[in-house]
Amino acid sequence: MRHWLLSWWRACLKLVAEPTKARRSSERLRLGFEQLEDRTVPATFLVRDIFAGISSSFPDSFAEVNGTLFFVAHHPSFGRELWMSDGTSTGTVLVRDIWPGIEGSYPQYLTNVDGTLFFVASDGLHGRELWKSDGTSTGTVLVRDIRPGQEDSNPRHLTNVNGTLFFSANDGIRGVELWRSNGTPASTLLVRDISPGSTSSAPGSLTNVHGTLFFSAFDSISGRELWKSNGSSTGTVLVHDIRPGSAGSDPRSLTNVNGTLFFSADNGLSGRELWISNGSSIGTMLVRDIRSGTLGSDPAGLTNINGTLFFSADDGTSGRELWRSNGTSSTTVLVLDIRPGSAGSDPRYFTNVDVTLFFSADNGASGRELWKSNGSSTDTMLVRDLRPGLFSASPSWLSNVNGTLFFSADDGISAPTFAGRELWRSNGTSAGTVLVRDIRPGTTGSNPSWLTNVNGKLFFSASDPANGVELWATDDWSPTIVSVTGPPAGTYTVGQSLDFTVQFNEVVTAIGTPRLQLTIGSTTRFASYLSGSGTTTLTFRYTVQAGDLDTDGIAVVSPLDLSGGVILDFSGNMATPNFTSPDTSGVRVDGVTDAPPTIVLVRPPANGRYVTGQVLDILVRFSEPVNVGTTSTAKPFIRLRIGSVIRNAVFQGKPNAATLRFRYVIQSSDRDTNGIQILSPIMRPAGTFIRDLAGNDAIVTFAPPNTSGVLVN
């Protein structure tokens, strides 16, 4: 099946066009042919040769926004500009030529703020300023010219705090200070001039901790210290002067661990050590003086793994090794002396993969290789010695994709050729740590970098001899169904359509006639595939047939029935058909056009003695939903015999689609000590009716229920 699918894709996806711009419509499209490789699992492929031929577009600065990859790349017609990709060649496009021509706007610091991309670029008129994009050319705009003219305000440290962008910038008057923006010129404002005048506070290490911005900043009194901000000038304050005086503690590596800020700082007495803060001065404290004296252990690589902080530090005895902390001195401990002695294993690139820490380290015997840890010394171990001996595979660009670790490494001896630095994957076992693909055969290697997960698809930059450094992707994950949505609640009759939308987590293609199984009453029906191939949403339709009847709501049955067809993504991965069935209890069907509704139950008032002013309610349930017609002066009613007098219980409403309520209010003259009687049929005065949704008049005769216990006095 997989070979057939690959052949199908070859037939459909051969043509690859170079990007064009509407205002350059006179330019001729350059067409080429792209031979698709016979992909092994996982499917690893060149997404697009942006700079055609052996020249390189050098894609970098990858960022995910709403399931789309944004990145920066070079094209000979546009220079270095903003691009986007959905993982297909045709879906990899220039967003906007911000600086028209070949100069390039050189976008930087791509940052996702609740679905809007913010970045820094220059259009040749305004210098390097703050921009935003919604993925369209017209929606890619300058947010504000913070430093008017061609001078740069040079925004940096772009950070999302609950939908507000915080960053540093220089307006040319107050130096580099803290700013914020909601994406409009009016909302792009200086937060506070921390270091008044043209001197800069140079905010850095901006970090969101549960909606509060923490950062380091300089002022002439305290030096560089820890600050926080709620976005207002008065709410932007020094947290704690850790090193009194103007020298400053220089906080670094600010990291949020479940609402507590961890960071490194130098108080002038203990050297650079691990600190924590809850945002108050008294709650900002040294966690542990790991290396006694003024040298400091210099904590680095601070990483939150399921509420525990992992980091590297040098205690002066074991060298730089792996440590962990829960925020107290007693819980701040060496995990394992991976390289015994003072040299240290120097752990790097800490990455969380489903609460397991992966990292690279050098134990002195195997070189720098891939390791993992769950926080205990016994479970901190070498995953695999990719390059046996003292030489190092030097894993880097570690990235979690759906619970699998991907990384770049050089095994030096990957059979049948020397692989050089290539793409690898690991499930945490030695046997499960394997080369994904030798993209550039030989010893040079494709040098994968910028590994980025976008909805289960790994994007990265890599080089091959034919295309240079371009955008690549790996996709080994089946598309999954995110949701199934049924038609609006209501009753559907013969010839009406029931439409269902099936939302996938990525773009899919439907081949053949997949279908959704429905249960209508006790009968199995199928909604056939209608449309949506090439998008993330497929539509299925069932048309109500004569004889279909469901009075309490149809059901949608998992899994999706492929019926000999397939649903697959761009890489040829077949979709997982299972889904959570939607609530369709309000979707009723009445295709019974030749059978009138009948009364299936008459429920009398409860037994008891009823007095003046009390009500006698009678519920009548039909075999299917019915409509009731009334006039301004008449409604259907049921006759009651109370003693020797006939009274009328008049229609009051419908507790549900198939049930009618009739009511009589006891009068002072009513008396019946032997039990009232409910008389058949339901009476329908002129102008009134009881009919099903197909227009059939109901049969309104019924067997009177036992009401001997319903007394009236």
* Average pLDDT taken over every residue of the chain: 91
Does 38 score more than 80 pLDDT?
Answer: no
φ and ψ at residue 7, rounded to 5 degrees: -65, -40
Range of the domain at 138: 1-21+58-147
Band (pLDDT 50/70/90 cuts) for residue 25 is very low
Select the more confidently predicted residue: 4 or 432: 432
Mean pLDDT of 555-570: 92
The CATH number of residue 708's host domain is 2.60.40
Q: Examine residue 142 and state whether it is found in any structural domain, yes or no.
A: yes
Percent of the chain residues past pLDDT 90, beyond the cut: 83
Does 482 score more than 70 pLDDT?
Answer: yes
Q: Tell me, what's the pLDDT at 572?
A: 80
Number of domains in the chain: 3
Q: Examine residue 244 and state whether it is found in any structural domain, yes or no.
A: no
Q: Tell me, what's the pLDDT at 692?
A: 84
* Six token digits for residue 498: 């029931």
Q: Examine residue 418 and state whether it is found in any structural domain, yes or no.
A: no
Residues 6+ apart with CB under 8 A from 608: 709, 710, 711
* Cα gap 196→178, rounded to integer Å: 12
Does 20 score more than 90 pLDDT?
Answer: no
Select the more confidently predicted residue: 414 or 10: 414
Count of CA atoms in the C-beta half-sphere (13 A) of 646: 5
pLDDT per residue as tens digits for the range 235-279: 999 999 999 999 999 999 999 999 999 999 999 999 999 999 999
Domain shared by 99 and 1, yes or no: yes
Q: Examine residue 315 and state whether it is found in any structural domain, yes or no.
A: no
Q: Is 149 left (phi over 0), alpha (psi -120 to 50) or beta?
A: left
* Cα gap 266→258, rounded to integer Å: 24
Determine how many CB atoms are found less than 10 A away from the CB of residue 365: 11
Q: Examine residue 241 and state whether it is found in any structural domain, yes or no.
A: no
Domain shared by 496 and 543, yes or no: yes
Mean pLDDT of 42-58: 92
Q: Which DSSP string do the residues of 143-188 spell out, in sequence order?
A: EE-SS-SSS----EEEEEETTEEEEEEE-SSS-EEEEEESSSTTT-
pLDDT per residue as tens digits for the range 417-467: 456 899 999 999 999 999 999 999 888 899 999 999 998 899 999 999 999
Domain boundary, last residue among 568, 590, 612 = 590
Strands (E), 363-512: 368-373, 381-384, 396-401, 404-410, 421-426, 434-437, 449-454, 457-464, 468-475, 481-485, 490-493, 497-511
Does 8 score more than 80 pLDDT?
Answer: no
Q: Examine residue 611 and state whether it is found in any structural domain, yes or no.
A: yes
Q: Tell me, what's the pLDDT at 413?
A: 65
Mean pLDDT of 333-349: 97
pLDDT per residue as tens digits for the range 111-167: 999 999 999 999 999 999 999 999 999 999 999 999 999 999 999 999 999 999 999
Domain shared by 584 and 607, yes or no: no
Does 26 score more than 50 pLDDT?
Answer: no
Domain boundary, last residue among 94, 112, 147 = 147
Domain shared by 14 and 90, yes or no: yes
DSSP-derived 3-state class of residue 2: helix
- The strand pair at 659-665 and 566-568 is best described as unpaired
Residue 32 CA to chain centroid, in angstroms? 35
Task: Give the position of tokens 């169904």.
Answer: 481
8 Å CB contact between 472 and 457: no
Please name every residue paired with 608 in a beta bridge, in sequence order, or none if there are none.
Answer: 710
Does 224 score more than 60 pLDDT?
Answer: yes
Domain shared by 1 and 139, yes or no: yes
DSSP-derived 3-state class of residue 23: helix
* Cα gap 452→460, rounded to integer Å: 6
Say whether pTM exceeds 0.75. no
Band (pLDDT 50/70/90 cuts) for residue 678 is very high
8 Å CB contact between 308 and 375: yes
Domain shared by 567 and 643, yes or no: no
DSSP-derived 3-state class of residue 210: coil
DSSP-derived 3-state class of residue 24: helix
H helices then E strands: how many in the chain? Answer: 1, 58
Select the more confidently predicted residue: 341 or 572: 341
Domain shared by 550 and 672, yes or no: no
Q: Examine residue 636 and state whether it is found in any structural domain, yes or no.
A: yes
pLDDT per residue as tens digits for the range 355-394: 999 999 999 999 999 999 999 999 999 999 999 988 899 9
Cis bond before residue 416 (omega within 30° of 0): yes
Domain shared by 618 and 542, yes or no: no
Mean pLDDT of 388-407: 94
DSSP state of 581: P
Q: Tell me, what's the pLDDT at 9?
A: 43
Residues 6+ apart with CB under 8 A from 411: 386, 387, 393, 419, 422, 435
Mean pLDDT of 289-313: 96
pLDDT per residue as tens digits for the range 63-93: 999 999 999 999 999 999 999 999 989 999 9
pLDDT per residue as tens digits for the range 620-655: 999 888 999 999 999 999 999 999 999 999 999 998
Domain shared by 629 and 693, yes or no: yes
Length of the chain: 713
Q: Examine residue 668 and state whether it is found in any structural domain, yes or no.
A: yes
Band (pLDDT 50/70/90 cuts) for residue 33 is very low
Mean pLDDT of 183-204: 96
Domain boundary, last residue among 537, 569, 590 = 590
Domain shared by 620 and 656, yes or no: yes
Q: Which DSSP string do the residues of 343-404 spell out, in sequence order?
A: TB---EEEEEETTEEEEEEE-SSS-EEEEEESSSSTT-EEEE-SS-SSS----EEEEEETTE
Domain shared by 571 and 604, yes or no: no
> How buried is residue 584: exposed, middle or buried, by Cβ count under 10 Å (0-12/13-18/19+)?
buried
Cis bond before residue 42 (omega within 30° of 0): yes
Band (pLDDT 50/70/90 cuts) for residue 688 is very high
Give the alpha-carbon dihedral of 203, 207, 213, 216, to 10 degrees.
Answer: -30
* Cα gap 208→216, rounded to integer Å: 13
Domain shared by 635 and 586, yes or no: no
